[in-house]
C-alpha cells in the first residue's frame, strides 16, 4: 500500500535534507571510521546465510553501505534510497562491486511501488531495512512493515534495524529522562488526569538525576538539519516485535548489537578498555541487550 500524507512528506523532505551532504562520507563515518566496528554487518551476513536467500533488497540502502558487505555472498542485490545523493553514490559503488546500476533506484519505504522495481511481481528472498526506522513517523510504521512483508516471497526473511529505546534505562543521560518522562511515568497523562502543581517540581527533580547535556545534539554540516534535528525515533524492542506479529510474520526474533559495558558517558575515562570490554559482550541473544545494547534487529519470516 502507499502511505503518503502531509506529515510523511514533510518528514521525508527534512530527512533528505539531512542526508544530502552526507552521501560521500556516510560509509566512512559509520562503517570504517568509527571507533566501534560495524558488527551489524556480520550479524546481517549471518542472518542471510541462515535464510538461504539468493535475492536481497536493501530498503533504504544509503550509499550501498550494507550492500558492500554482502557483495561476496553471491546474491542478486537490489536497493533503493530516499535521498538522490545517496542513490548517486550507491550506483557508483554498485559498479565497483559488479552490481548492475539499474538495481539501485530512488524510492520511499512509505511507497509500496518502491519495493517492486519495474513493476516486478515476484518477491525477494530477503529484505533488509537498516538505519531507516528512526525516521519513519509512527502513524505509517505498520504500513511500512506491511510493505516489507509484501516485498518478500512466502518464507522470505525481513530484517529491520532500530535504535533501542530501552537503552535509556542504562545511559543515565537525556535519553533516560525522555524514557522515564514519556514512556514510564507518562507525565502528560498525569497532567491531563489532574496532577497537583508539585508534579512539575517532581519532574524537575527527576531531570536533575540525569546528564541532560549528553549525548551532544548532532547538527548538520552546512546549515541543513542534523540527525537529532529531524525525526530520529527509538523503538521499544518488545513493541516492534509485537508489530511484526500483528503483521503476520512467523519465527520473530530479536538480535541486539552495539553493547556498552558501562553507561557511554564513562567511555572517555578509559576508551580502549571500554571498547574492548564492550566488544567482548557482543551476543545478539544476550538478555542484557535489551538494556545495554544501543541497537537491535527484529527479524521475521513471511508466513
Measured between alpha carbons, how far is 74 from 268 in angstroms, rounded to an integer? Answer: 41
pLDDT value at residue 223? 82
Instruction: Give the residue from 81, 152, 89, 148 showing the smallest Cα distance to 123.
Output: 152
Share of residues in the chain with pLDDT > 70 (%): 98
CA angle 62, 8, 213 (to 5 degrees): 70
Are both 188 and 48 inside the same structural domain?
no
Could you tell me which residues come within 8 angstroms of residue 74 by beta carbon, excluding any fewer than 6 positions away? 54
Measured between alpha carbons, how far is 80 from 54 in angstroms, rounded to an integer? Answer: 18
Cell numbers at residue 59, please?
530498503
Cell numbers at residue 62, please?
544509503
Are both 230 and 91 inside the same structural domain?
yes
- State whether residue 265 is helix, strand or coil: helix
Are both 255 and 128 inside the same structural domain?
yes
Q: Does residue 1 lie within any of the structural domains?
A: no
pLDDT digits (tens, 9 = 90+) for 87-98: 999 999 999 999
Could you tell me which residues come within 8 angstroms of residue 86 by beta carbon, excluding any fewer than 6 positions away? 19, 22, 23, 26, 61, 62, 63
List the chain residues with pLDDT less than 50: 1
Instruction: Give the global pTM.
Output: 0.95
Are both 182 and 297 inside the same structural domain?
no
pLDDT digits (tens, 9 = 90+) for 52-86: 999 999 999 999 999 999 999 999 999 999 999 99
Are both 296 and 153 inside the same structural domain?
yes
pLDDT value at residue 122? 78
pLDDT value at residue 2? 52
Are both 28 and 81 inside the same structural domain?
yes
pLDDT value at residue 36? 83
Are both 126 and 179 inside the same structural domain?
no
Task: Identify the bridge partners of residue 232 per DSSP, sorted by sequence position.
Answer: none
Measured between alpha carbons, how far is 297 from 128 in angstroms, rounded to an integer? Answer: 10
Measured between alpha carbons, how far is 130 from 67 in angstroms, rounded to an integer? Answer: 11
Q: Does residue 149 lie within any of the structural domains?
A: yes
Measured between alpha carbons, how far is 253 from 16 in angstroms, rounded to an integer? Answer: 31
Full domain range(s) for residue 190: 174-207
pLDDT value at residue 35? 74
pLDDT value at residue 118? 77
Are both 65 and 161 inside the same structural domain?
yes
Q: Does residue 266 lie within any of the structural domains?
A: yes
As for how many domains the chain has, the answer is: 2
Ranges assigned E (strand) in the chain: 55-59, 76-81, 104-106, 124-129, 152-163, 249-259, 293-302
Are both 23 and 125 inside the same structural domain?
yes
Amino acid at each position: 500500500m502507499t502511505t503518503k500524507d502531509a506529515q510523511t512528506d514533510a518528514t521525508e523532505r527534512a530527512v533528505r535534507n539531512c542526508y544530502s551532504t552526507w552521501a560521500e562520507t556516510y560509509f566512512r563515518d559509520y562503517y570504517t571510521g568509527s571507533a566501534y566496528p560495524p558488527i551489524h554487518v556480520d550479524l546481517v551476513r549471518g542472518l542471510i546465510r541462515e535464510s538461504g536467500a539468493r535475492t536481497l533488497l536493501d530498503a533504504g540502502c544509503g550509499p550501498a553501505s550494507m550492500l558492500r558487505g554482502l557483495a561476496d555472498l553471491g546474491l542478486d542485490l537490489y536497493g533503493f534510497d530516499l535521498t538522490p545523493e545517496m542513490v548517486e553514490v550507491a550506483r557508483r559503488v554498485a559498479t565497483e562491486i559488479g552490481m548492475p546500476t539499474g538495481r539501485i533506484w530512488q524510492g520511499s519505504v512509505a511507497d509500496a511501488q518502491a519495493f517492486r522495481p519495474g513493476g516486478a511481481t515476484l518477491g525477494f528472498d530477503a529484505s533488509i531495512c537498516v538505519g531507516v526506522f528512526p525516521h519513519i513517523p509512527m502513524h505509517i510504521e505498520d504500513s511500512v512493515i506491511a510493505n516489507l512483508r509484501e516485498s518478500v516471497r512466502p518464507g522470505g526473511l525481513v530484517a529491520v534495524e532500530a535504535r533501542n529505546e530501552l537503552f535509556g534505562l542504562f545511559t543515565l543521560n537525556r535519553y533516560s529522562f525522555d524514557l522515564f518522562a514519556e514512556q514510564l511515568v507518562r507525565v502528560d497523562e498525569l497532567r491531563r488526569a489532574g496532577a497537583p502543581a508539585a508534579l512539575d517540581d517532581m519532574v524537575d527533580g527527576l531531570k536533575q538525576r540525569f546528564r541532560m547535556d549528553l549525548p551532544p545534539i548532532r547538527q548538520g554540516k552546512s546549515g541543513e538539519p542534523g540527525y537529532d534535528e529531524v525525526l530520529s525515533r527509538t523503538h521499544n524492542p518488545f513493541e516492534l516485535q509485537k508489530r511484526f506479529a500483528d503483521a503476520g510474520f512467523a519465527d520473530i526474533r530479536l538480535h541486539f548489537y552495539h553493547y556498552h559495558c558501562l553507561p557511554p558517558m564513562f567511555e572517555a575515562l578509559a576508551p580502549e578498555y571500554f571498547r574492548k570490554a564492550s566488544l567482548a559482550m557482543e551476543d545478539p541473544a544476550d538478555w542484557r541487550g535489551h538494556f545495554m545494547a544501543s541497537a537491535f534487529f527484529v527479524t521475521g519470516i513471511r508466513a
